[in-house]
Chains A and B, each alone.
Chain A
Amino acid sequence: MTSRFLLTTALAATVALPAAAQELRFFNVFDATATALWEPVLAAYAEATGTSVVSESIAGSGAAVYPDVLRTSVASGSPPDVFFMWGGTIAQPFIDAGQVREISDLYAQYGWNDRFPPWIIARLKQPDGSIYGVPFKARGMGLWYKKALFEEFGLTEPTTYAELEQICTKLAEAGKYCASFGGQFGWHTMRLVDYFLEDTCGPEVHDAINARAQTWDQPCVVDAFARLKAWVDNKWLVPDFLGVAPADSRMPMYLDNAAMVYEGGWFENVLAGDGQNPADYAFFLPPTASGRYHAFPEQWMIPAETANAEAAGAYLDWVTNGETHMAYRATFEGSVSDGYSPDCAAFPHACAWTEILTSDRGTYPPTDQAFEKELIDGFFEAQDGVVAGLMTPEAAAALIQSYVEQYDQRG
């Protein structure tokens, strides 16, 4: 394996040779921990190829702010050479504006179609088959819980929504909250609503309403919001959470006041960073009849205007290569590149996620990757209204539909 890795590195060096001593800027959302993990990776690439890759991180509020910073950079004529992006509609405005390079040629050149699970590539493709991003990681999301709390109350991971309700009932009777959310930006609460939608609407209808091929003011959407209302009314959720930042919502779980949080595979590192022992926690996929789960790809993109497209392609080939990922396993936790396997002894949760993400199991996207930003804010308004008791589930479903119609009308 080492020889193959060296060969790959040498190949990257060969490709990048004409651009030796050049510099690539890459935008990302790495926090301090991730930045530290990436430093040796970038140093190794610079040493192997002579191409210095400068990381410019905009960490903090996730998809709420990062695209703005990127947009400003692109619009000002000073785009990075490579940038991180989530999938779906978060990336779409950049693609529609012609600001991202179409990279089918790089897929063919580097054989990327064989490097990643088909569902991830399918999720990144445009309806016309064009593709603008190469997968960085695949992320699945589920309910993480503190094992000791489950053991204390004799709880086991649910296999149906009814069982999940029973867990929440038991916890509420014991004076514990079932789950904790931070509603400040809307997307954290959305994860719970998305799960309800998947279970009440089923995969076909859920996909159809996300694609705006069916209306939102239908009974299954009302049922999903009715569940949200029930979770609030039954005090299964830590109260007054709409103004709480998502990162701050973990505190009730750490303090044993709440049993679960809805987070992704990255949460193992977050737990370690927050001084928790990841071994004290476990996760399960919120049970649905279809068996589908919440997942989305993260990707790298190349701006159309970069003068270093060739070097950027070579860098992306190196940085998405399973061999590279094996050399820096902790950095690439969450990778689904062929040839990568997580360090299961050090990162047991990441190991479990990789198994899920590379399986044939179906996935559904978070609504903020299915809806344009303007629409998703309407969705957040509806869910916040239900949580605050200012809106009935019927009114919430109708409000989203009205926003969809206004949006479609404007074109």
Chain B
Amino acid sequence: MTLADSRATRARPRASAARQRRQRVLAAVRPWLFLAPALSLYLVFLVLPMLFTLYMSFFSWDGLSPLSERVFVGLGNYVRAFAEDDVSRRAFVNNLYWTAGAVIIPTVIGLLLAVALNSLTAVNRLLRTIYYAPAVLPLVAVGLIWGWMYNPNFGAVNLFLRWVGLDGLAGGWLSSHTMALPATFFTYVWSHVGFPMILYLAGLQSIPRELYEAARIDGASRWHCFRHITLPGLMETHVIVLSLAVINGFKVFDLIYTMTYGGPGRSTHVLGTWMYFQTFQYYEAGYGAALAWIIAAIVLVVAVPYIRRMSRD
């Protein structure tokens, strides 16, 4: 073996090791390269604004003046939201009512509709479309339409009630401090009931029919089948539906804004509308940022476990 051969023999494993290292680095980097376009958009348009909002929540700033004019207030905006601002507390309570309703009512109706419309008949297909149709309408349009329907003078709701002889029930649905929020929530139910129905319909397809057949042979009633096969079989769907209901319940904005504008008085404000009013109408961008982070924190408490579970599955 010549000296040159000996060097070549020693160099080969080194080159091979270098190539392997390069491949390992490339393998580690490659997924990030694929992710980079989406990730950069996500960072620029979501993460950075969120962090900036968090930063601004510790300042008093009108959102219009140069940023240099902000004044550090520490946790003052958060203290104000929880301890000093009556409307933010009322808005928080309204959010709780709304979320409780959103978790129960559209979910139960959606589940019952899904069970009722599970078989693939032509009528069921038509009814599924009808029930789901409101879910594809923009909420602003839904709010405006229902605002007119609730009009005390020429709205369809009161005209119908008077037509069927229930004149006593006809009234100012959105004008009443006590009825405005429930009336707006009714619109929410109307527009959102189709979504859980679709999810439950999808979930129902994953339950083996043999389970029902076996149960019926064993003499199980429809209720028993529903209680012991359908409900447990839809466990994954329940998690999705309920998590989304809680998240949407705290994010509610459009319907309140278009139908009541937070009124009468300030009785129907939710945290989302109050945050908007503070930021864009009262020029309290720092306080608005704090309210936004309160909403975000509440939503994240539900969303993070939900996302983890979904990712795992």
Contacts and interface: CB of A to CB of B under 8 A. Distances in A.
B281 A241 contact: no
Contacts of A385: 265
A93 interface: yes
B190 to A, nearest CB: 17
Interface string B234-271: 00000000000000000000000001110111100000
A71 B152 contact: no
A288 to B, nearest CB: 27
B114 interface: no
B151 A97 contact: no
B177 A243 contact: no
Contacts of B281: 67-68, 373-374, 377
A67 B177 CA distance: 27
The listed residue with most A CB atoms (<10 A of its CB), out of B150, B177, B259, B284, is B177
Interface in A54-75: 64, 67-68, 71-72, 74-75
A186 interface: yes
A267 interface: no
Given A93-B62, A96-B65, A98-B66, 19 more contacts: A68-B281, A71-B63, A96-B62, A183-B263, A183-B264, A240-B176, A243-B152, A243-B174, A243-B180, A244-B172, A244-B174, A248-B148, A251-B154, A257-B153, A372-B282, A373-B282, A377-B282, A384-B264, A390-B265
A248 B174 CA distance: 14
Interface string A77-111: 00000000000000001101111000000000000
B282 A243 contact: no
B263 A243 contact: yes
Given A248-B151, A384-B263, A243 B64 contact: no
The listed residue with most B CB atoms (<10 A of its CB), out of A98, A184, A243, is A243
B280 A68 contact: yes
A240 B172 contact: yes
A394 interface: no
Contacts of A241: 152, 172, 175
B153 A251 contact: yes
Contact of A72 (B147, B154, B277, B280): B280
Contacts of B264: 183, 242-243, 384, 387-388
Interface string B170-186: 01111111001000000
Interface of B: 62-66, 147-148, 150-154, 171-177, 180, 259-261, 263-266, 277, 280-284
Contact of A243 (B150, B280, B284): B150
Query: What 5 A-B pairs have minimum CB-CB distances, sorted nearest first?
Result: A240-B172, A243-B174, A97-B64, A242-B175, A240-B152
B282 A242 contact: no
A93 B283 contact: yes
A185 interface: yes
Nearest to A92: B283
A72 B174 CA distance: 29
Contacts of B265: 380-381, 384-385, 388, 390
Contacts of A41: none
Interface string A357-394: 00000000000000011100100110011011010000
A385 B264 CA distance: 8
Contact of A239 (B63, B172, B263, B284): B172
Contacts of B172: 239-244
A17 interface: no
The listed residue with most A CB atoms (<10 A of its CB), out of B259, B260, B264, is B264
A66 to B, nearest CB: 11
